[in-house]
Structure 1
């Protein structure tokens, strides 16, 4: 699958959040909330589609992924893939089936339990963006 995503000029100044969720109504709901909060939002139903978007060159700031996804790759594997191949991109996971203590130590991504509130997701994304900015500024200073 080849994906081409172009950002409009007014979208280039806003952080891009990639939502990976196979439940379309859940994906639409959180995507709408993030757009209302001012983020540029991309959507994928499967991890493989998310990887294609990441490889398209769009600067994705944070991936928000469900743990259970349709297809051969789940959200835990996607989080490890992002860590290994896109270290400048943050990753936040969500699940209604596992807790943070069930997440393998190889996965370095916070887990927000379902059901979640929009406010909880927005707060975690804001925290993640702040951390990414701090890391970037430290790397620029060295």
Structure 2
């Protein structure tokens, strides 16, 4: 998996997953921080942790997005974390580190893609399909888009 999306609102989670899949990223999804940590731990044991975690700040009961980000970066400092929020003041003075970004919801697909690409290692971007970065409409017009279900 390239990106693990953590969002308790199913419609937002699905939209973010669709946008990033269309950009060529391999996606997994979780509704809670606890589920995300379990998925990341399992992935890390097999092939390495996700390259980037995209998480909402407010995830319902349990750990919030900031606590998830802190735990992810403690376990895997090389992983990037993108926080999604409707209220940037919800970051409550949290100083972002070099492996963290935030985007404001509703987030434009290209803004989200840029934040994820910025935190994705160059070696991972190099293995992505040639149509990545063209934009879905341009890639489709050129016949370069990913097959359905990719």
| TM, length-normalised to structure 2 | 0.71
Instruction: Determine which of 21, 26, 35 is the counterpart of 1:49.
Output: 35
1:26-51 deviation per Cα after TM superposition (whole angstroms, max 9, x unaligned): 10011011111111000000000010
Runs of 4+ in 1 over 4 A off after TM superposition: 130-133
Map of 2:56 onto structure 1: 66
1:131–1:77 Cα change, 3 Å: farther
Instruction: Check if 1:77 corresponds to 2:67.
Output: yes
Between 96-105 and 70-79, report the one with greater CA deviation. Answer: 96-105
1:98 aligns with 2:99: no
The question of 1:110 aligning with 2:115 is answered: no
1:123 pairs with 89, 97, 114, which one? 114
Unpaired stretches in structure 2, ≥5 consecutive residues: 125-150
In the comparison of the two structures, how many residue pairs are matched? Answer: 118
Please, what is the CA RMSD of the aligned residues?
Answer: 2.1
The verdict on how the C-alpha distance between 1:38 and 1:110 changes in structure 2, with shifts beyond 3 A counting, is same
3-state secondary structure, aligned to 2:120: helix
Structure 1 residues without counterparts, runs of 5 or longer? 1-14, 134-142
Give the secondary structure class of the aligned counterpart of 2:5: strand
